[in-house]
Amino acid sequence: MEVTISIPTALRPQVDNKDTVKVTGSSVREALGALTAQYPELGKRLYAGENELNRFINVYVNDEDIRFMDNLDTALKEGDEVSIIPAIAGG
Amino acid sequence: MSYVSCLRCKECGAEYPIEPRTVCDHDFGPVEVAYDYEAMRGKVTRQSIEAGPRSIWRYRDLLPVASEPRVGLNSGYTPLIKADNLAAELGVRELYIKDDSTNYPTFSYKDRVVAVALMKAIEFGFDTVGCASTGNLAHSVAAHAAKAGLTAFVMIPHDLEEGKIIGSQVFSPRMVKIRGNYDDVNRLCSQIADKYGWAIVNVNLRPYYTEGAKTHGFEIAEQLGWKLPQHTVVPVAGGTILPKIWKAYQEFITLGIVEDNKPKMYAAQAAGCNPVVTAIEENSDLFRPQKPQTIAKSIAIGNPADGYYVIKVVRESGGYGASATDSEIIDAIKLLARTEGIFTEPAGGTTLAAAIKLIQQGRIPRDESICVCITGNGLKTIEVMHGQFAAAPVINAKLSEFDVIVDEIKEKAAAATATAGV
């Protein structure tokens, strides 16, 4: 299924300066896999290990953190919005 | 002169010029201000600091500003209280309260970080500043922006205490309440900073903002007579202040301003939002985010951006962590008020309650120096104390009616003494 991934400013140089990229995938893992296959430089920044996201990056599906769902195995449906957002301080 | 050298990624060491910047381009790691400590040697001393103003700006050489401070001229230099009454109650020898509930102008530790962030906003030429906040930060951004003549845009969770809302609104910021918790607000703010290019103090001014938190630690060391407490207990929300107090201690050690007595750092969180303390207890490097459920709203951050660094510092220093339930938080607020005359908000209650647990567990020795960091003021969150106290008697303005009350107090005291005597 087709989903939209929104890309934060810091990562846009790696995706031809686009703010969103459409990919297909039935899980977050597949969608991000499709994204990084298309843009390998992005993959280096997104992942810390093969199955582990960089810990300073949070991924949301329709505004919910994937760590509250099934992490990279979180299922996606047609039209879902996946957001990649850097961790931010505050309080 | 300024001793700032650059911004440096805490993870990969990549260097960037002094500019508005959220994270490192290479690995998304936080960037931190780096200084030339060699150049400071012999110039930044106890004497040079003591000659400075009675505000955070006495530590200006260790802060990332390039021009004469124009913001927060009265922020910081809050009291370090020797808490002898509380120490006696807890059975410890040497206890201090670093009391930021009296900070200027908005009664929380945030006046330190905002002063530095807004100075940078002005230096960078921004006219609009904003923040994602659990209340105290919004309060401080709105007040400092009013004084500095900047436009403020503050984003807060929709369900904050009234004191936190009115306390910001009075300064006429643009306020937006967001349905969701702080972590939702923060995520939105990160997208807003990205899209509108505003100076969001905890997003693209974060490296400067967080440096302001060091002044809490500098003051503890200076006010203790140029030495470090052996144990420092700090509340953890987003995870800014604990590693920055540690950085302050280490900078003073590096510069030979204080002796290295191997200070230990302890993290305090509410039981209803304790991702960092849980990770410390489980001996894990990573925390799992949580959905906060606590009366300590000012520290209800379930996905703390700097949580990783809190865990690292606590572990490296040999400290630990503890969490407090809502009722323990309330009890600690009352205890601090009853023994030391300080009214703190639930974040402060959390910190004291955690300190008490760590003392009782023997993790903090009773005969060593302890500092409890109080970062916010109880008058902003009076709702949490509703129903905690017996109703005060109401009388007519007649001396005879007052006499009755005094007689009752005497009778109760006599009865208590009699019972104690049995």
Q: Are A34 and A12 spatial neighbours (Cβ–Cβ below 8 Å)? A: no
Q: Report ipTM for this prediction.
A: 0.84
Nearest to B200 by CA among A16, A26, A89, A8: A89
- What residues in B contact A88, CB-CB < 8 Å? 22, 132, 186-187, 189-190, 202-203, 206, 305
- Which residue in A8, A13, A89 is closest to B305 by CB distance? A89
Helices within B125-225 (DSSP H only): 136-148, 162-169, 182-196, 206-212, 214-223
Burial B211-222 (b: 16+ CB within 10 A, else e): bbbbbbbbbbbb
Do the chains contact at B28 and A67, CB–CB below 8 Å?
A: no
Q: What is the pLDDT of residues B386-405, one digit of tens each?
A: 999 999 999 999 999 999 99
Q: Mean per-residue pLDDT for A64-82?
A: 94
- What residues in B contact A56, CB-CB < 8 Å? 11, 23, 27-30, 305
The string of DSSP codes covering A1-50 is -EEEEE--GGGGGGGTT-SEEEEE-SBHHHHHHHHHHH-HHHHHHHEEET
Q: What is the pLDDT of residues B108-146, one digit of tens each?
A: 999 999 999 999 999 999 999 999 998 999 999 999 999
Placement of tokens 């009675």 in the chain = B54
pLDDT at res. B276: 98
Q: Is the pLDDT of residue B420 over 80?
A: no
pLDDT averaged over every residue in chain B: 95
Confidence of residue B35 (pLDDT cuts 50, 70, 90): very high
Q: Is the pLDDT of residue B244 over 70?
A: yes
Report pTM: 0.94
Q: What is the pLDDT of residues B86-115, one digit of tens each?
A: 999 999 999 999 999 999 999 999 999 999
| Ranges A5-19, A21-35, B339-353, B365-379: which has the least confidence | A5-19
Per DSSP, the three-state class of B231 is: strand
pLDDT at res. A26: 96
Work out the minimum CA distance from B341 to partner chain A, whole angstroms: 26
- Which tokens sit at B211? 């440096």
pLDDT at res. B164: 86
The number of C-beta contacts closer than 8 angstroms across A and B is 94
B223 CB-side CA count, 13 A: 21
* Chain B residue whose CA is closest to A87: B305
Do the chains contact at A88 and B206, CB–CB below 8 Å?
A: yes
Q: Are B62 and B39 spatial neighbours (Cβ–Cβ below 8 Å)? A: no
Do the chains contact at B303 and A54, CB–CB below 8 Å?
A: no
- Which tokens sit at B74? 């009265």
Calpha distance A4→B222 (Å, rounded): 53
Do the chains contact at B190 and A88, CB–CB below 8 Å?
A: yes
- What residues in A contact B110, CB-CB < 8 Å? 91
Decide if A54 touches B, using CB distance below 8 A. yes
Q: Is the pLDDT of residue B422 over 70?
A: no
Confidence of residue A42 (pLDDT cuts 50, 70, 90): confident
List domains and CATH numbers for chain A. 2-86 (3.10.20.30)
Q: Mean per-residue pLDDT for B253-263?
A: 98
| Ranges A73-82, B26-35, B169-178, B275-284: which has the least confidence | B26-35
Mutate to test the interface with A, among B133, B194, B287 (most CBs of A within 10 A): B194
Do the chains contact at B303 and A87, CB–CB below 8 Å?
A: yes
- Which residue in A54, A83, A90 is closest to B137 by CB distance? A90
- Which tokens sit at B378? 């109880």
Q: What is the pLDDT of residues B328-355, one digit of tens each?
A: 999 999 999 999 999 999 999 999 999 9
* Chain A residue whose CA is closest to B21: A10
Confidence of residue A91 (pLDDT cuts 50, 70, 90): low
pLDDT at res. A90: 59
Burial A22-58 (b: 16+ CB within 10 A, else e): ebebebbbbbbebbbeebeebeebbbeeeeebbbbbb
- What residues in B contact A60, CB-CB < 8 Å? 187
pLDDT at res. B378: 97
